[in-house]
Amino acid sequence: MEDTKIITGGEFLVRETDLKNVFIPEELTEEQKMIGQTCTDFLKTEVIPLLDRIDAQEEGLMRSLITKTGEMGLLAISLPEEYGGFGRSFLTSMYASEILGAGHSYSVAYSCHTGIGTLPIMYYGNDSQKAKYIPRLATGELAGAYCLTEPGAGSDANAGTTKATLTADGKYYLLNGQKMWITNGGFADVMTVFAKIDNDRVLSAFIVERTFPGITFNPEEKKMGIKGSSTRQIFFNDCRVPAENLLGKRGEGYRIALNILHMGRIKLGANVIGAAKKAISQSVAYANERKQFNCLISEFGAIKYKLAEQVIRTFATESAVYRASKNIDEAITCYVGKGEDKGRDTMEAFNHFAIEAAVMKVYGSEALDYVVDEAVQIFGGMGYSAEMPADRAYRDSRINRIFEGTNEINRLLVVDAILKRAAKGVLPVMEEGQKAYDEIAGLKEHSDPKEEGYYEQKSRYIRNFKKAALVLIKTVSEKFTRTLVYEQEILNNISDIVMHIYAAESIRLRVQKLEALKGEDNIKIYRDILDVYVYDAASRIRKYAMDAIYSFAFGEIRETLLKGIRHFTCIEGVNVKEARRRIADRLTEENRYCF
Ligand SMILES: Cc1cc2nc3c(=O)[nH]c(=O)nc-3n(C[C@H](O)[C@H](O)[C@H](O)COP(=O)(O)OP(=O)(O)OC[C@H]3O[C@@H](n4cnc5c(N)ncnc54)[C@H](O)[C@@H]3O)c2cc1C
């Protein structure tokens, strides 16, 4: 029975994950790889050669690319067959998102269409709404968008003032208000628009067609990056929406909006992997070609450090994203199997993984920012040239920390979701936190070296990182109770710790599984990645924890917590210089991202 147990969201914090419950990208099937190859070919032939024209927003170009993507079947990968899709797993669609994530502005249009543009209708629409829109969204005959943000309602999405009023004959809702920052706004045919009916305090959702009377669009926003992605303000002036286009139930809009964003966040995690691998390949190719002081710059330790660190953070994101994707697929199968409403049950599965989704969004977007920033640096002056690819990668990356919920909001969400699950009794966070706290009293300042295997040791370190997180969560929530929400700096510290735990454990599980598949001799370089990551994570976690402890704990509790954190983050040293050099050398030998 244990074998078939599904992983629940957030469980990683309180339990060890068994290798058999972990998916690693090296296990992708032949069919998934073929879909990936189709995406690669599509990017190479249809998108990359046109990047300048896309960024110049050539009339009709992005829309035609969406149509072509539809013709290739890539808009319909995980949509059900009855609606013209291919019925493949969420994980398969994540793999496609990863590959297409290297497509700059195109990838934003693609993600918007296939994610937030299509899935609200797919998962919350009634049969006739799905039959009417999904097959046409699946082929790209229609393009989709998602309209939540307003001038006064960004992070505080429920503060929107767009109103919907039912006409006296009950046939239409009249929409009045304004949305902004709407991706695909320049060409979307169908939009999920969030508005409040009459004096409701919560949002409802509506399916709005571009041709409905009463809609106007501002010109394209001029943006820092993703310049080819269409972004518009949209105005609704007595816009007539047929009453049957209410999506879901009245007042269900906020739930729809948030659940769709959980899915969007984890997809963003996949996107950034593709973008990062591309930037790394460009970095290594340049470093292998550029000479200074009669030497290729790829031979300098300072450059090797950057290349290796780019790889490590990308590898971490990738390990975490595929681990979570498979868990989500299994949760979807389980919930849909038991429930009566396939769409809502699927979305509930995403909702259960809100913690992992937020982790992936924040960790992945910051990993990509690191990668592209160092790409600019590796290119030196040429990195600052608008003629070189590092320029576009750098500008296009930045948005990922802002949309799909800013990283500040997502960091808060990580801890909030953990506490909610603890309060519901789903995650025994307080119990485990208490156990960790009790353990501190009996700890010796210097413990004897342990006889243990390589993975056993790494697992122990990561278990201890979890204890650090749990003991902090328990003590801060007891200290602040309801006022904890005002302690954002401390919440951020905890959130950062949780992120490093998930990333470190995902790498450990992947490398251990890889070793079981390929043998120790063939995966040594992956052990280097794991060694460096865990070593760095220990000191980062210690720093975040210390920052938190000095911010809220005093006297004996402070001393106890400091003692605990010193112990829980104590690990053996690693020759990170040599490990990073080996990682960089593998990269320079292959002259492309190769992990
Ligand atoms: C290019 C682009 C495309 C977009 N596409 C879409 C789309 O397709 N559909 C859509 O609906 N929206 C879209 N958005 C909107 C996007 O989701 C919002 O910009 C984002 O949610 C942030 O809202 P805001 O811009 O109002 O910033 P604000 O909410 O005003 O935030 C400003 C700063 O304050 C911080 N902050 C806010 N509240 C808190 C808090 N409680 N605690 C701590 N810090 C806080 C934020 O993190 C941020 O750093 C897009 C935005 C851009 C730029």
**Using an 8 Å Cβ cutoff, are 287 and 298 in contact?**
yes
CB of 155 closer than 6 angstroms to any ligand 1 atom: yes
Structure tokens at 56: 């110049």
At residue 61, the pLDDT reads: 98
pLDDT at 1 over 70: no
Atom of ligand 1 nearest to the CA of 409: 47
Q: How far is the CA of 155 from the centre of ligand 1 (A)?
A: 5
Q: How far is the CA of 112 from the centre of ligand 1 (A)?
A: 16
Q: Which of 235-249, 312-326, 330-344, 470-484 has the lowest mean pLDDT?
A: 330-344
Kindly state the percentage of the chain with pLDDT values over 90. Answer: 95
pLDDT at 216 over 60: yes
pLDDT tens per residue across span 519-543: 999 999 999 999 999 999 999 999 9
The question of whether 404 is a catalytic residue gets the answer yes
Query: CB count, 10 Å around CB of 110?
Result: 28
CB of 194 closer than 6 angstroms to any ligand 1 atom: no
pLDDT tens per residue across span 419-443: 999 999 999 999 999 999 999 988 8
Query: Closest Cα to atom 35, ligand 1: which residue?
Result: 408
At residue 310, the pLDDT reads: 98
State which of 149, 192, 221, 366 you would mutate to test the pocket of ligand 1, scoring each by most atoms of that ligand within 8 A of its C-beta. 149
CB of 408 closer than 6 angstroms to any ligand 1 atom: yes
Over residues 98-114, mean pLDDT: 98
At residue 378, the pLDDT reads: 98
pLDDT tens per residue across span 548-574: 999 999 999 999 999 999 999 999 999
DSSP per-residue codes, 308-322: HHHHHHHHHHHHHHH
pLDDT-derived band of residue 2, with 50, 70 and 90 as boundaries?
Answer: very low
3-state secondary structure of 193: strand
Give CA torsion, residues 19, 317, 70, 33, to 10 deg.
Answer: -50
Q: How far is the CA of 482 from the centre of ligand 1 (A)?
A: 25
Does residue 292 come out as left (phi exceeding 0), alpha (psi in the -120 to 50 range) or beta?
A: beta
pLDDT at 228 over 60: yes
Task: Give the helix/strand (H/E) hosting 365.
Answer: helix 354-378
Query: Closest Cα to atom 48, ligand 1: which residue?
Result: 406
Over residues 384-391, mean pLDDT: 93
Over residues 441-467, mean pLDDT: 90
Over residues 356-362, mean pLDDT: 97
CA distance 195 to 161: 7
pLDDT tens per residue across span 40-56: 999 999 999 999 999 99
Query: Closest Cα to atom 44, ligand 1: which residue?
Result: 408
At residue 560, the pLDDT reads: 97
Query: Closest Cα to atom 24, ligand 1: which residue?
Result: 154
At residue 566, the pLDDT reads: 96
Query: Closest Cα to atom 27, ligand 1: which residue?
Result: 154
Query: Closest Cα to atom 16, ligand 1: which residue?
Result: 403
Over residues 212-239, mean pLDDT: 98
SS3 of 469-537: HHHHHHHHHHHHHHHHHHCHHHHHHHHHHHHHHHHHHHHHHHHHHHHHHHCHHHCHHHHHHHHHHHHHH
pLDDT at 14 over 80: yes
At residue 238, the pLDDT reads: 98
Atom of ligand 1 nearest to the CA of 156: 29
At residue 488, the pLDDT reads: 98
Query: Closest Cα to atom 11, ligand 1: which residue?
Result: 148
CB of 183 closer than 6 angstroms to any ligand 1 atom: yes
pLDDT at 472 over 80: yes
CA distance 478 to 14: 18
CB of 148 closer than 6 angstroms to any ligand 1 atom: yes
pLDDT tens per residue across span 121-173: 999 999 999 999 999 999 999 999 999 999 999 999 999 999 999 999 999 99
Task: Give the helix/strand (H/E) hosting 247.
Answer: strand 246-247
Q: Which of 309, 404, 432, 487 is catalytic?
A: 404
Atom of ligand 1 nearest to the CA of 407: 47
Structure tokens at 513: 């599984």
pLDDT tens per residue across span 253-298: 999 999 999 999 999 999 999 999 999 999 999 999 999 999 999 9
pLDDT-derived band of residue 449, with 50, 70 and 90 as boundaries?
Answer: confident
Mean pLDDT of the chain: 96
pLDDT at 3 over 50: no
State CA 314 to chain mean position distance.
Answer: 12
State CA 583 to chain mean position distance.
Answer: 25
Q: How far is the CA of 477 from the centre of ligand 1 (A)?
A: 27
At residue 235, the pLDDT reads: 98
State which of 258, 402, 484 you would mutate to test the pocket of ligand 1, scoring each by most atoms of that ligand within 8 A of its C-beta. 402
Structure tokens at 79: 């949509």
CB of 146 closer than 6 angstroms to any ligand 1 atom: yes
